[in-house]
A and B are shown apart, each in its own frame.
Chain A
Amino acid sequence: MKEIKLFLGPQHPGMHGNASVHMYVEGDIIKRSYLLPGMLHRGFEKSMERRTWMNNIALIPRICVPEPDTNEMVYAMNIEALAKIKVPERAHWIRMIILELARLSAHLMAFGGIGGPTGLYTAMYWAQADRDRILTIFEEITGHRVYHMYIVAGGVRKDLPKGIENKILDFLNDLESRLPEYEDLVLNNPTVRARTVDNILLPAEVVWELGVTGIGMRSATGQEYDIRKVAPYARYEKVDFKVPTATYSDAQTRMTLKYQEMYQSINIIKQAIDMMPGGKVRAKVADGSALRWRVPAGQVYSAVEASRGEYGYYTVSDGNTMPYRVAVRGASFPQGLLGVEKYMPGHRIDDAPLWFDTMGICSPEIDR
């Protein structure tokens, strides 16, 4: 049979962000596949070296659009570590609320995103509508729906607006009551299951080989490797939550774990709202105006648990007003770049979008 070259993305409803997969197919089986990043060509890491420590806050959320807050968090954590800043207690809890809301929104997007490749658009509409309610909460707290620019070195940019806690709780209760409907619609749906059960496997050996983290790793190996547990940041050590795991990773398992994690996020936010103290929310980064903030020389790596896995920045400062170097460890990198090339061949063409959706891939973070 003749080999044909096909492109998946960048303009494709099943493609996650601005990247393209070049697929060489025979019939409907993928024979070879390569990820072509570079569609974002913003050169985030290099651009950061030419912007002041504060100015970068406008750039970094773009490294992962559906879940920008993890970027802000690791960037802030690095500056705080270098400059030895003590973040006010309240800010830690606010950060945790923001990060978990972001996780919910990213999980909803991926969970509903399964609707595209499986033809179940209801799932996508539901999830987007619920995610939009999170974005409205973000809008009220941070001023914008997507690029929040809210978690900054020293704490958060502004205190929470009055009364937002109740709005968040109302939303969480509502979402919690709706989650079983999602389960029925997607996880228990025989049509979806026909596509996801025993399909797109991620064996434990591949996890170790590529360095997959996050749900991919936890679903395949049964390891409770979650940065929030193994190296807690913010105040994750003070809240009670579980890390769902499994030992057989097909598309269905990974979606189920995402679904279970949403309950855990709801649980964490509720605890945070309950336990959050009052007080200041931002500590001074350095002397002077933001134009002249200097961060002491040094190098540091910080990581957080993003919806897709371990997300980290390695930051080097030479003591000046701009970072000397920032390197991003995008959680999607192993499965998104290497995995596509090595393990996607053999799957059917229509499973390629499913691969992207359930593996946890956000292309700008490969392309940073």
Chain B
Amino acid sequence: MDKKSILAPFKGWKYLFKKPVTVAMDDIFKNPRESQDNYRGFHINDWAKCIGCGTCSEVCPTNAITMVERSDVADEEGSKPERPVIDYGRCCFCALCVDICTSGSLSLTKEYLLNSSDPEDFYYMPTEKGITGKPIKLGYVKDETSDLLDLERKHMEHVGEDERKGSFIEIVRGFSKEQAIAEASRCVACEICTKTCPAHMNIPEYIRSVWNDNLSEGVDYLYKTNPLPSVCGRICTHKCEGACAISQRGDAVAIRWLKRYIVDNVPDDEYEKVVLSQVSKKGDGKVAIVGSGSAGLSAAYYLSTLGYEVDVYERKAQAGGPMRYGAPKYRLPDDITNRDISFIEKLGVKIHTNTDVGKDITMDKLKSTHDAVFIATGYPDTRPLNIPGVDNKDVIMAMPFLADSADFERGSAKMPEIKEKVVVIGSGNVAFDVARTLVRLQNMKYGKSDVMMAALENRQQIPADIEEIEEGTEEGIKFNLACGPQKIVVDEKTGNVKGVEVCECTQLFDENHRFNPQFDFDARQVLEADQVYLAIGQMPDFTYIPDEVQSQMQIERGKIKTNKNGQVAGVPWLFAGGDIIKGMDIINGVANGHDAAIGIDEYLRKNKKKS
């Protein structure tokens, strides 16, 4: 062995005179080394952002995260009053919870040292402060690359504006199977939508059915809370999507289109089997329902699944209320409404059309032949506008016009008298229905359209759905916003409408967010038009209710006071639902109808015991 190799190892002795790389134990506690920027340390959770969706707990590979309900967190729409608790005895600091957090509230810090003799200290509900209470240095945070959610909604095919504006063809084409499954896979099943939906539909469950391609299971879930899924799959106001956890940072899951996908893709015979299988028991009694809108039909369906005999009275020629006579066919084709109603009829519900309660049959008569009466007559009349000139024949109310147009669209009436240049006053969904129907009728009649919408609201305040505004604009609707109509300008000689005089609306809500429009009366202009359509809201019609019954009821601002199951205060045999007790919304109606069915069932069973 040569000398060189004997001495070789001793070259390492030079490190005796260099600074040691080891860290003294004392330093570990007194001057702990700061971890790197990306460090996956203990959690922090921004409670202002956290919506309690529990997706962190869902993804956690070690089951370290539990969602705990907090009484000090407000139970608001779009969130749950829950916050994650982390068991550091289980946590492996993988940060998948951070990567999947819907709101982006969870992050990890650079903190890695925590000493405690109490094991409970390691069972920790993160806040903005961090576990050690020392100043926070952020460690691992989510970025676009690490995100585990799919924030982009699958594209829904729409009929192009050139094709659709001259006809009443349905605009939305619906998802294919691949698209629907892909869209359903974006859901994190947090159930915030269920909480928000007035009917509390089992949304995550039926989305899961789509994802698993088990559509008859999906139908089963739909009918548990909503007997009008085909209709709601098209024209529901989808409050659920507004609350969707994914919408915190991306596009909400297309819940409405997925519902539509289920009902559109289950064959009729299989569908029928599922729907009719929901009948549970034989109730004993007869219930009359006035009005065949969503609330009436929903109550009829659930009452008959309980075994009650149900008569529905509808003054128009066809059942469906606003589904039939309000929603234009480009949004809700007739055969869709037919389908939902046909299943309700198959359960044995008798629908008496062309029967106007109050005229053809009295309420007293209904009361004497039935054990309970449910009224759901909606808001059928358009709210009038008190300005000079509105009594002209070319000033037309929205609701009758939509009904006439609906009859024309289904071929049972001739086209309503429409003119070449029109103004629609209002900017809600009904106003858009009117305006977009007019665009179609004008294109059919004149080959071009000239529709102007005038409203008090400015662009940001428009109450209609965003897609109405976008699609309406595509179809060529013009807007004159933030203006208040002052009078209808009428040609004195001919008596024809020449236009609407408007002045600028400078403020819509006051500082207390109350509706309090202010105008600049000097900024006037005349919007030229041959016809003016009014769509500034609807109102109820209670004339069919006898005075002595009405005197026992409490009606405030067009709403009847009821208990939570729709039982009218002061009149125990009478139940009410839909627009006349709450909101103006198809899904509210469905929910009220379901609640009323429960209420009526309880009421009738109680009565039976007594007798």
Q: Which residues of chain B have C-beta atoms less than 8 A from A286's C-beta?
A: 185
Which of chain A's residues 179-196 have a Cβ closer than 8 Å to chain B?
181, 184-185, 188-191, 193
Please tell me if B172 contacts chain A, counting CB pairs below 8 Å: no
Please tell me if A30 contacts chain B, counting CB pairs below 8 Å: no
In the assembled complex, how far is the CB of residue B130 from the closest CB belonging to chain A, in whole angstroms? 17
- Which residue of chain B has its CB nearest to the CB of A59? B61
Which of chain B's residues 100-146 have a Cβ closer than 8 Å to chain A?
100, 108, 139-140, 143, 145-146
Q: Which residues of chain B have C-beta atoms less than 8 A from A120's C-beta?
A: 9
Which of A144, A193, A280 has its CB near the most chain B CB atoms (within 10 A)? A144
- Which residue of chain B has its CB nearest to the CB of A290? B148
Please tell me if A142 contacts chain B, counting CB pairs below 8 Å: yes
Q: A58-B92, A158-B143 are in contact. Are A291 and B40 (CB under 8 A)?
A: no
In the assembled complex, how far is the CB of residue B593 from the closest CB belonging to chain A, in whole angstroms? 33
Q: Are A184 and B11 in contact (CB under 8 A)?
A: yes
Q: Are B38 and A142 in contact (CB under 8 A)?
A: yes
Cβ 8 A contact of A139, one of B22, B38, B108: B38
Which of chain A's residues 148-167 have a Cβ closer than 8 Å to chain B?
149, 155, 157-159, 161
Q: Are B61 and A55 in contact (CB under 8 A)?
A: yes
Cβ 8 A contact of A58, one of B94, B139, B145, B148: B94
Q: How many residues of A contact B (CB 8 A)?
A: 48
Please tell me if B149 contacts chain A, counting CB pairs below 8 Å: yes
In the assembled complex, how far is the CB of residue B179 from the closest CB belonging to chain A, in whole angstroms? 10
Q: Which residues of chain A have C-beta atoms less than 8 A from B9's C-beta?
A: 120, 122, 184-185, 188-189, 191
Q: Which residues of chain B have C-beta atoms less than 8 A from A140's C-beta?
A: 36-38
Which of chain A's residues 273-298 have a Cβ closer than 8 Å to chain B?
280-282, 286-294
In the assembled complex, how far is the CB of residue A108 from the closest CB belonging to chain B, in whole angstroms? 14
Q: Which residues of chain B have C-beta atoms less than 8 A from A281's C-beta?
A: 145
Q: Which residues of chain B have C-beta atoms less than 8 A from A142's C-beta?
A: 38
Please tell me if B516 contacts chain A, counting CB pairs below 8 Å: no
Q: Which residues of chain A have C-beta atoms less than 8 A from B11's C-beta?
A: 181, 184-185
Which of chain B's residues 1-40 have a Cβ closer than 8 Å to chain A?
1, 4-6, 8-9, 11-12, 21-22, 35-40
Please tell me if B396 contacts chain A, counting CB pairs below 8 Å: no
Q: Are B140 and A143 in contact (CB under 8 A)?
A: yes
- Produce 1/0 per residue, A322-334, CB < 8 A to B: 0000000000000
A232 to B150, CA, bound (A): 32
Q: Are B94 and A292 in contact (CB under 8 A)?
A: no
Please tell me if A257 contacts chain B, counting CB pairs below 8 Å: no
Please tell me if A110 contacts chain B, counting CB pairs below 8 Å: no
Which of A129, A158, A286 has its CB near the most chain B CB atoms (within 10 A)? A158
A185 to B182, CA, bound (A): 60
Please tell me if A247 contacts chain B, counting CB pairs below 8 Å: no
A129 to B21, CA, bound (A): 7
Which of chain B's residues 304-338 have a Cβ closer than 8 Å to chain A?
none
Please tell me if A141 contacts chain B, counting CB pairs below 8 Å: yes
A58 to B145, CA, bound (A): 18
Please tell me if B452 contacts chain A, counting CB pairs below 8 Å: no
Please tell me if A235 contacts chain B, counting CB pairs below 8 Å: no
A55 to B100, CA, bound (A): 11
Q: How many A-B residue pairs have CB under 8 A?
A: 130
Please tell me if B206 contacts chain A, counting CB pairs below 8 Å: no
Please tell me if A57 contacts chain B, counting CB pairs below 8 Å: yes
By size class, the interface of chain B is: 35 or more
Cβ 8 A contact of A289, one of B62, B181, B186: B186
- Which residue of chain B has its CB nearest to the CB of A180? B11
Q: Are B36 and A289 in contact (CB under 8 A)?
A: no
In the assembled complex, how far is the CB of residue A45 from the closest CB belonging to chain B, in whole angstroms? 16
Q: Which residues of chain B have C-beta atoms less than 8 A from A291's C-beta?
A: 55, 58-59, 100, 188-189
- Which residue of chain A has its CB nearest to the CB of B98? A143
A55 to B96, CA, bound (A): 8
Cβ 8 A contact of B61, one of A58, A144, A157, A282: A58
Cβ 8 A contact of B145, one of A57, A59, A149, A282: A282
Please tell me if B438 contacts chain A, counting CB pairs below 8 Å: no
Q: Are A190 and B61 in contact (CB under 8 A)?
A: no
Q: Which residues of chain A have C-beta atoms less than 8 A from B252's C-beta?
A: none
A58 to B96, CA, bound (A): 9
Q: A51-B61, A290-B59 are in contact. Are A144 and B40 (CB under 8 A)?
A: yes
Q: Are A189 and B8 in contact (CB under 8 A)?
A: yes
- Which residue of chain B has its CB nearest to the CB of A282? B145
A144 to B140, CA, bound (A): 10
Which of chain B's residues 362-416 have a Cβ closer than 8 Å to chain A?
none
In the assembled complex, how far is the CB of residue A210 from the closest CB belonging to chain B, in whole angstroms? 33
- Which residue of chain A has its CB nearest to the CB of B23? A132
Please tell me if B211 contacts chain A, counting CB pairs below 8 Å: yes
Please tell me if B95 contacts chain A, counting CB pairs below 8 Å: yes
Please tell me if A136 contacts chain B, counting CB pairs below 8 Å: yes
- Which residue of chain A has its CB nearest to the CB of B58? A291
Please tell me if B93 contacts chain A, counting CB pairs below 8 Å: yes
Q: Are B8 and A139 in contact (CB under 8 A)?
A: no
Q: Are A289 and B8 in contact (CB under 8 A)?
A: no
Cβ 8 A contact of B22, one of A122, A129, A149, A292: A129
Q: Which residues of chain A have C-beta atoms less than 8 A from B143's C-beta?
A: 158
Q: Which residues of chain B have C-beta atoms less than 8 A from A59's C-beta?
A: 61
Please tell me if A147 contacts chain B, counting CB pairs below 8 Å: yes
Q: Are B185 and A190 in contact (CB under 8 A)?
A: no
Cβ 8 A contact of B39, one of A52, A129, A139: A139
A311 to B65, CA, bound (A): 33
Q: Are B150 and A287 in contact (CB under 8 A)?
A: yes
A129 to B146, CA, bound (A): 31
Chain A to chain B: the 4 pairs with minimum beta-carbon distance, closest first: A288-B185, A290-B148, A287-B182, A184-B8
Q: List 11 A-B contacts (CB under 8 A).
A: A51-B61, A58-B62, A132-B21, A185-B8, A189-B9, A287-B150, A287-B185, A287-B186, A290-B96, A292-B185, A294-B185
Q: A132-B21, A190-B1, A290-B99 are in contact. List 12 more A-B contacts (CB 8 A).
A: A57-B94, A122-B9, A147-B92, A147-B93, A158-B145, A181-B12, A185-B9, A280-B145, A290-B96, A290-B148, A291-B55, A291-B188
